[in-house]
Amino acid sequence: MKLFKSKKIFLLGFIFIASCIEDAPLDSLSPAGPYARSIDELFWLTFWIAVGVFVIVQGALLFSVFYFKERESSPDPKQIHGNNFLEILWTIIPVLILAAIAVPTVKTIFDLAREPEDALKIEVIGHQWWFEYKYPDFGITTANVLVIPEDQPVRLEMWSNDVLHNYWVPKLNGKRYLVPGQTTYLNLQADSPEEFWAQCGEYCGLSHSKMRGRVISMTESDFAAWVANEQSYAEKELPESSLAAEGQLVYLNAGCTQCHVIDGVWDVQGDRIAPNLTHFANRSVFAGAALKNNPENLTKWLANPAEIKPGTFMPNLELTEKEINALIAYLGTLK
């Protein structure tokens, strides 16, 4: 009983319980949509069967160790070489258990792969190390934050621009690879308006661990408003001699336009290799969702991107503090 009186044990237990309750944004066991839920049900079915097998086998093991342990009085055991009936039994019973799990497994595999009717199509393009999103129906290009309508299936058409990536929103569905030169598909659906975390699953080079994302589900009206706003272009003419106007000059002259696009400000044909910044200020995160979108983080990022994401394709432009502040002010206007 001394064990339970120990405060440390109590504290450890408390932390254990606390850490279970505490919200983990990438928790795969808290499904928030029908696809993730169907996986979750299958997982728990298997889990409890596995627990049953675990208890029986470990129970038999521990029982044998304690009961058949060598004692002075114990005689040498009978020399039993085997038992055909038992062999057949413990071959057939696992087969039957597995067959029982196999049926819902195969059904769920095909259910998850089926293209839902009336799904909103969104293209997901993997880059080292950020996700780009395109809404072909609306002509929208954005990055890092995927916005979807609540309670409506979304069909992701995905490919990669460079290496293999693995798109994962644990609360909405399992993972699916993004492969260069090949299109893969994944369905998402969220029950209610919420912000979810996404993460690249497959090792994709230096900053793989910082290839993250957010998925925001919205009510239908909010989503419509978001679409309308995303379709708008950025303001080209800014109030003269404002800090933001200075920032726009930095943006145009420092080299940012080599890789980035702000619709309405710099007319370019075709894609650029870096995220479209037209509505940058509306995104809660940036830099592959590795950083929250606030002036402090932007300062760090613009001063030396590779410091935060090793291997990044964004060069250190050797910006002065003044230029950085101006740029941040300008980026803040991109709503």
Partner 1 sequence: MTKIIEPKKQSNIFKRPSSETGIWSWITTVDHKKIGIMYGYAAFFFLLIGGIEALLLRIQLASPDNNFLSAAEYNAMFTMHGTTMIFLAIMPISAAFFNYLLPLQIGARDVAFPRLNALSFWIFIFGGVFLYSTFLFGTAGAPQGGYLAEEVSRLGSAPNGGWFGYQPNAGFKYSPGTAMDYWAIGLQILGIASLVSAFNFITTILNMRTKGMRLMRMPVFTWMTFAVSFLLAFSLPIIAIALFYVTFDRQFGTTFFLTEGGGDPILWQHLFWLFGHPEVYILILPAFGIVSEVLPTFSRKPLFGYPAIVFAGFGIAFIGFGVWAHHMFASAISPVAQAGFGLSTMVIAVPTGVKIFNWLGTIWGGKLKLNTPMLFSLGFIGMFVIGGLSGVTHSIVPADTQQTDTYYVVAHFHYVLFGGAMFGIFSGLYYWFPKVWGKMYNEALGKIHFWLMIIGFNLTFGPMHWLGLQGQVRRTWVYAEETNLGFWNLIVSIGAFIIALSILVFMANWIYSKRKGPEAGFDPWDARTIEWSIPSPTPVWNFSKAPEVKSLDDFWHMKYDEDEDGRPVRKEGADALLAELEEEGLNPSEEIVLPNPSYFPIILASGLPFLGYAVIYKMLPLAILGTLLILIGSFGWGTEPLEEEFMEDLENE
Residues 241-300 binding partner 1 (CB under 8 A) are none
Does an H or E element contain 85, and which?
A: helix 84-113
Q: Minimum distance between the CB of residue 197 and partner 1, rounded to whole angstroms?
A: 7
Question: Where in 90-109 is the site for partner 1 (CB under 8 A)?
Answer: 90-91, 94-95, 98, 101-102, 105-106, 108-109
Count of residues binding partner 1 (CB under 8 A)?
97
Kindly indicate which of the ranges 50-58, 146-154, 216-224, 234-242 contains the residues binding partner 1, using the contact rule CB under 8 A: 50-58
Q: Please, which residue, 34 or 149, has the CB nearer to partner 1?
A: 34
Question: Where in 113-172 is the site for partner 1 (CB under 8 A)?
Answer: 113, 128, 162-164, 166, 168, 170
| Three-state SS at 54 | helix
Pick from 4, 7, 8, 83 the residue near partner 1 by CB under 8 A.
Answer: 83
Q: Please, which residue, 63 or 233, has the CB nearer to partner 1?
A: 63
Question: CA nearest 206: which of 307, 315, 317, 318?
Answer: 307
Write out the two tokens for 15. 């932390």
- 70 sits near partner 1 (criterion: CB under 8 A): yes
Output the CA torsion 189→190→195→196 (10° steps). Answer: -60
Q: Please, which residue, 137 or 307, has the CB nearer to partner 1?
A: 307
Q: Minimum distance between the CB of residue 69 and partner 1, rounded to whole angstroms?
A: 5
Pick from 130, 197, 280, 301 the residue near partner 1 by CB under 8 A.
Answer: 197
Pick from 119, 151, 152, 179 the residue near partner 1 by CB under 8 A.
Answer: 179
Question: CA nearest 141: which of 252, 237, 283, 258?
Answer: 283
Q: Minimum distance between the CB of residue 166 and partner 1, rounded to whole angstroms?
A: 6
Q: Please, which residue, 49 or 249, has the CB nearer to partner 1?
A: 49
Kindly indicate which of the ranges 62-70, 221-229, 263-271, 323-331 contains the residues binding partner 1, using the contact rule CB under 8 A: 62-70
Rounded Cα distance between 254 and 260, Å, is 12
**Residue 126 · residue 134 · CB < 8 Å:** no
Pick from 3, 110, 241, 267 the residue near partner 1 by CB under 8 A.
Answer: 110
According to DSSP, the β-strands at 285-286 and 184-188 are unpaired
What letter does residue 180 receive in the DSSP assignment? B
Q: Minimum distance between the CB of residue 131 and partner 1, rounded to whole angstroms?
A: 14
> Which residues 6+ apart lie within 8 Å of 287 measured at CB?
130, 144, 210, 297, 301, 305, 308, 309
Pick from 82, 85, 118, 318 the residue near partner 1 by CB under 8 A.
Answer: 82
Contact letters for partner 1, residues 13-32 (x by CB under 8 A): --x---x--xxxxxxxx---
**Residue 184 · residue 158 · CB < 8 Å:** yes
For CA atoms 86, 88, 90, 92, give the dihedral sign.
negative
Write out the two tokens for 53. 């097998």
Q: Give me the residues paired with residue 145 across strands.
A: 214
Q: Minimum distance between the CB of residue 328 and partner 1, rounded to whole angstroms?
A: 20
Pick from 236, 310, 320, 321 the residue near partner 1 by CB under 8 A.
Answer: 310
Q: Please, which residue, 83 or 221, has the CB nearer to partner 1?
A: 83
Sheet holding 184-188, edge to edge: 140-143, 130-135, 120-127, 154-160, 184-188
> Which residues 6+ apart lie within 8 Å of 227 measured at CB?
135, 138, 140
